[in-house]
Amino acid sequence: MTLPLLTPADLDTDREVRWCPGCGDFAILAQLKQALSEAGVPREKLVFVSGFGCSSRIPYYLNTYGFQTVQGRGPAIATGIKIANPELQVWVVTGDGDGLSAGAGHLIHAIRRNVDLKILLFNNEVFGLTKGQNSPTSRVGTRTKASPLGSIETPLRPLSLALAAEATFVARTVDVDVHHLTETLLRAASHRGTAFVEIYQNCKIFNDGVFDYATDKSVKEEHTLHLEQRRPLIFGRDRNMGVRLNGVVPEIVQLNNGNGNSAGSSNHIDDLVIHDESGDDATLAFLLSRLSFPEFPECFGVFRCVDRPTYEGQLLGQIAEARQAHGPAKLDELLAGDETWTVA
């Protein structure tokens, strides 16, 4: 293991952190610093890019290189940075509004290109900074000042979209689960390619409690499922429920034995779906991305993690290839072109 080069405090800036009291962003910022300090990338190689929104203030609160840009365009700008200098570790911080409203197109294209970006989408299911309108992830029926009779739009599921955009790394975590959050960020940091992480984040002011089912200690274990590589999908306080497939249709089963050890029973642990984040096909991850409260437990952890060459790697590879093929680039020769004539 590399020794930590940074402490979380090294990442503090002298700016006052300004979110509403109780906002989930505080926890995310703290764990982000924690993860960065553990990830071992020197501070000067870190770049944080964001768009606009409460979540997008993150770059101002981290003593790294940072660029808060404009609504939804973070992924494009971050891609430019990686193309200029692939040595940098570039993080994109976005929100459900920033990243999925104006920014959906850019997000998809960054992901399919597999630019080596760590994209964190803070999903609070609302436009926070503009004072609480419904966002592309708001649930149907959400009442806001912009939708006084309730939102009528089917919400996007960020992870489904990322998977359809051919993501190589897709994960989900939540603001209050500090350990899981840090671990997930660390996994994202170590992925080569676009790592897309959805973070459930509580907006205290405009959408308070929308994730209570997944965070409230009294119920969360019944409604969430932690993915572990090559392990069956088991959840519940007593770990006595599992997810099984009927064809490609998921269903919840009660395990006959809490530990899943009772052999020969009909609802046997061996019938459960075994998680595989690294399969060739994204279908399993897609299926998991669609499990949602209240019918199903919602999954946390790494849905998908596969290898594919990065965009900037290939782009620079072609440049190297061209240089190899043509020998060292001579500007005079280029200026002269194929055909010249001389006037004495």
Ligand X SMILES: Cc1ncc(C[n+]2csc(CCOP(=O)(O)OP(=O)(O)O)c2C)c(N)n1
- Residue 191 Cβ, how far from a second copy at the closest point, in Å? 16
b/e sequence 157-166, b meaning 16+ C-beta within 10 Å: bbbbbbbebe
> Is 207 in contact with 132 (CB distance < 8 Å)?
yes
Q: Could you say which residues in the range 45-104 bind a second copy, by CB under 8 A?
A: 101-104
Q: Could you say which residues in the range 3-32 bind other proteins, by CB under 8 A?
A: 13, 15, 18, 20-21
Kindly give, in sequence order, each residue whose CB lies less than 8 Å from that of residue 324, ignoring residues fewer than 6 positions away.
none
Near a second copy by CB under 8 A: residue from 132, 228, 273, 278: 273
153 interacts with a second copy by CB under 8 A: yes
158 interacts with ligand X by CB under 6 A: no
27 interacts with ligand X by CB under 6 A: no
68 interacts with ligand X by CB under 6 A: no
C-alpha 254/C-alpha 264 separation (Å) is 14
164 interacts with a second copy by CB under 8 A: yes
122 interacts with ligand X by CB under 6 A: yes
According to DSSP, residue 100 is labeled I
Contact region with ligand SF4 (CB under 6 A), list: 7-15, 190-198, 204-212, 245-253: 204-212
Q: Could you say which residues in the range 80-99 bind ligand X, by CB under 6 A?
A: 95-98
41 interacts with other proteins by CB under 8 A: no
Among all chains, which residue has been given the structure tokens 């404009």? 70
Among all chains, which residue has been given the structure tokens 């599921």? 157
Alpha helices in 259-304 (DSSP H): 283-290
Number of residues in the chain: 344
292 interacts with ligand X by CB under 6 A: no
Q: How many CA atoms lie within 13 A of 316 on its CB side?
A: 12
Contact region with ligand SF4 (CB under 6 A), list: 19-27, 106-114, 225-233, 240-248: 19-27
Q: Could you say which residues in the range 280-309 bind a second copy, by CB under 8 A?
A: 280-284, 286-287, 290, 308-309
Q: Closest Cα partner for 85 from 308, 329, 331, 315?
A: 315
Near Mg ion by CB under 5 A: residue from 66, 75, 95, 136: 95
21: its two tokens: 């009291």
C-beta closer to ligand X: residue 79 or 123: 123
Alpha carbon 85 to chain centroid distance? 22
Q: Closest Cα partner for 4 from 30, 32, 43, 31?
A: 43
- Pairing type for strands 249-254 and 65-68 reads unpaired
Q: How many CA atoms lie within 13 A of 304 on its CB side?
A: 31
77 interacts with ligand SF4 by CB under 6 A: no
C-alpha 37/C-alpha 331 separation (Å) is 44
Near a second copy by CB under 8 A: residue from 51, 95, 155, 260: 155
Q: Residues in the site for Mg ion, rule: CB under 5 A?
A: 95-97, 124, 128
Residues in contact with a second copy by the rule CB under 8 A: 101-106, 108-109, 112-114, 136, 149-150, 152-157, 160-161, 163-166, 245, 247-250, 273-274, 279-284, 286-287, 290, 308-309, 311, 314-315, 318, 321-322
The residues of the shown chain that bind ligand SF4, judged by CB under 6 A, are 19-20, 23, 25, 54, 124, 128-129, 203-206
